[in-house]
Amino acid sequence: MIIMKFGGTSVKDAKSMQEAVNIVKKSNQKRVVLLSACSGITDKLLSLIKDAANPEAVFPSKAIDEIELHHNNLSSELFKNKIFVNYSAALIKRYCNELRKLAEGVRLLKECSPRSRDRAASFGELLSTTIFQFLCLENSLKPILIDARKVIKTNSDFCSAKVLVKQTRKNAINIIGKELGLSFNKRNSYEGNSGIAEIENKTQTDLIITQGFIASDLSNKTTTLGRGGSDWSAAILGSALNASEIQIYTDVDGVLSSDPKIIKNSKLIDKVSYEEIKELSFFGAKVVHPAAIFPALVKNIPVRIMNTFNEKSPGTLICYEDSANATKFKSIVLKKDCQLLNINFSSKANSQLYLQKFYKFFLRREVKVYFQSSSVSRITFLIEKNADINFLVEQMSCNKTLAELLNVDLLVVCANAILDCKKEDFQAIFEELLQKNENCHFIAFTDNSLLSAVAPIYSETVANKIHQKIFEK
């Protein structure tokens, strides 16, 4: 049994949604398919419910009508069978009427609570899965549509709810597992955490459709899972049902060796570890959110990132560990608009007090710290660019503390185990970084990365040359 999750770009229009159904149809395994809202719809929903709370703004009837029209147009374009057009139109109308009533209630209260935001946001996934269900039926599949809110249970932290794992696992087995005919013995029960679910002969369907991103609390109020929510839904259900693989479909081939906008010859990475994904995500690479897939990987369920629109691409396989490729550099991330802050002070000064002061400053202003090092008389921070830092530097200079602030780009070369990588690859990296004195201001290591602060005028050139020497040889 596999989990297949399709993101917003994979169901953005009729052509994309048909591609997604074709992929589902080609699979001969039992599968649970999760869908996001059509691309752009969630933003529209959140915008209109915010406008509804503002008594000075026009009531968002037009925005609701546009959402209804978008989904009706999808149905008309996709379905040849008029029965499906009519059925889907009736359900779309029902959901949009519920949305309108919600907006009217928000206007009456003149307040949009997190609970109302979550309820509004949920309509995107409910609408996309409604259409997808009928499209599967028209393509001779026999799906069962299950409301994710009946399965995935969370606390009541609206807009970024935390999953109640034990209750969700129990629901997944009793609701989805039952429909698929999955059998869970004691070892594979929701209280266990290993083994692939067995399949009984008695089964109603081999295809379940449900929503990503949305859930409900123990009072059955709609909640959402926040950033990476749909991927998190897929991982939670995959973990609960002991799936053999989780497939996440998007509009790119998988995880690339670099940003193709910066490095044209970026390569597809066939396999990466969870630690590498965490590292890439932390430094700003556009990859699947690591926290979202952790529930699956911790149970050794592989996660594969695939392209809905390129069936020839094998995608990227994410495993909890990748010991076979531990000696290889995998990717380069170039994070622009960073700053290198060096603080030099008297050896009599307490460096720990300085560290505390700076971290409080960074936390208050939500400044991301990429790297920090300290010695008896010097502290170095590699941070994202922030205008408030200039004020801090000026303030410190007045107190006779020497502070140096440089605008830099952060160049990160990632690996699974940095110290095990090949000597010749390190040599190639250092040759480029140290070719000119003004190229590189700082070099450091983590367990999985080599970090360098590079002058912005040279950063793209250096990144391309390192990529050529390591990934294009």
Which of 279-288, 323-332, 418-427 is least confident?
323-332
Average pLDDT for 225-253: 92
Residue 84 confidence (pLDDT) above 60: yes
Neighbours of 297 (CB within 10 A): 22
Which contacts (CB < 8 Å, 24+ apart) does range 453-459 have?
453/338, 453/340, 453/382, 453/406, 453/408, 453/409, 453/410, 453/411, 454/408, 454/409, 454/410, 454/411, 455/408, 455/409, 456/336, 456/407, 456/408, 456/409, 459/334, 459/336, 459/409, 459/411
98-150 pLDDT, tens digit each: 999 999 999 999 999 999 999 999 999 999 999 999 999 999 999 999 999 99
User: Is residue 366 included in any domain, yes or no?
Assistant: yes
Question: Smallest Cα–Cα separation from 31: which of 193, 167, 209?
Answer: 209
Any idea which residue has 């009729």 for tokens?
14
The answer for residues whose C-beta is within 8 angstroms of residue 333's C-beta and 6 or more apart is 258, 259, 280, 283, 284, 285, 410, 411, 412, 414
Q: Which amino acid is at 311?
A: E
pLDDT at 324: 62
- One-letter amino acid of 259: D
CA distances from 417 to 226, 413, 446 (A): 31, 11, 9
Which structural domain, as residue segments, surrounds residue 17?
2-221
- Which CATH number fits the domain that encloses residue 210? 3.40.1160.10
Confidence check: pLDDT of 201 > 50: no
Distance CA 371, CA 263 (A): 24
Which range, 194-203, 277-286, 458-467, has the best average confidence (pLDDT)? 458-467
Output the average pLDDT for the chain. 89
CB 386 within 8 A of CB 367: yes
- Interacting residues of 28 by C-beta distance below 8 A, sequence separation 6+: none
Phi-psi region of 242 (alpha: psi -120 to 50; beta: other; left: phi over 0): left
Q: Of 221, 245, 277, which closes a domain?
A: 221
Instruction: Judge whether 27 lies within some domain.
Output: yes
As a whole number, mean pLDDT of residues 298-310 equals: 93
pLDDT value at residue 180: 93
How many CB atoms are closer than 10 A to CB 327? 14
338 and 198 in one domain? no
- Helix ranges restricted to H, 14-59: 14-26, 41-52
For residues 408 and 349, the answer to whether their CB atoms sit within 8 Å is no
The per-residue b/e assignment along 278-287, b for 16 or more CB within 10 angstroms, e otherwise, is bbbbbbbbeb
Residue 234 within a domain: no
340: which strand partners? 382, 406
Please determine, for residue 417, whether its predicted confidence score (pLDDT) is greater than 80.
no
For the cut 80, the answer to whether the pLDDT of residue 387 exceeds it is no
β-strand pairing of 303-307 with 182-183:
unpaired
CATH number at residue 403: 3.30.2130.10
399 pLDDT above the threshold of 60: no
CA distances to 44, 102, 112, 121 from 105, in Å: 18, 5, 9, 15
Among residues 463, 460, 456, the alpha carbon closest in space to that of 408 is found at: 456
Mark which of 173, 193, 221 sits at the end of a domain: 221
Separation CA 69–CA 152 (nearest Å): 30
Is residue 190 very low, low, confident or very high in pLDDT (cuts 50, 70, 90)? very low
| pLDDT range class, residue 398, cuts 50, 70, 90 | low
Whether 284 is covered by a domain: the verdict is: no
Assess whether 42 and 177 both reside in one domain.
Answer: yes
**pLDDT tier for residue 193 given thresholds of 50, 70 and 90:** very low
Q: Is the pLDDT of residue 396 over 70?
A: no
User: Using CA atoms, how far apart are residues 108 and 96, in angstroms rounded to an integer?
Assistant: 18
Query: Would residue 442 count as lying in a domain?
Result: yes
Is 290 within the bounds of a domain? no
The rounded distance, in Å, linking the Cα atoms of 241 and 172 is 7
228, pLDDT greater than 50 = yes
My answer on whether 63 and 203 are in the same domain is: yes
Percentage above 90 pLDDT, the chain: 63
Q: At what angle do helices 114-138 and 41-52 cross, to 10 degrees?
A: 140
- Quick check: is 308 in a domain? no
Residues 215 and 348 in one domain: no
Q: How do residues 217-226 score in pLDDT, each as one tens digit?
A: 999 999 999 8
Q: What is the pLDDT of residue 349?
A: 60
Amino acid letter at 194?
S
pLDDT at 213: 96
The whole-number pLDDT of residue 196 equals 43
Radius of gyration of the chain (CA): 25
Q: Which of 221, 242, 263 is the last residue of a domain?
A: 221
Q: What is the pTM of this model?
A: 0.86
Average pLDDT over residues 268-290: 86
467 vs 201 pLDDT, higher one = 467
Measured CA distances, 426 to 431, 449, 461 (Å): 9, 12, 18
Q: What's the structural domain count of the chain?
A: 2
- Name the percent of the chain lying above pLDDT 70: 91
Q: What is the pLDDT of residue 450?
A: 92
Torsion of CA 311, 317, 318, 320, to 10 degrees: 150
Q: What is the mean pLDDT of residues 236-247?
A: 95
Residue 92 amino acid letter? I
Whole-number pLDDT of residue 347: 60
Residue 303 placed within a domain: no
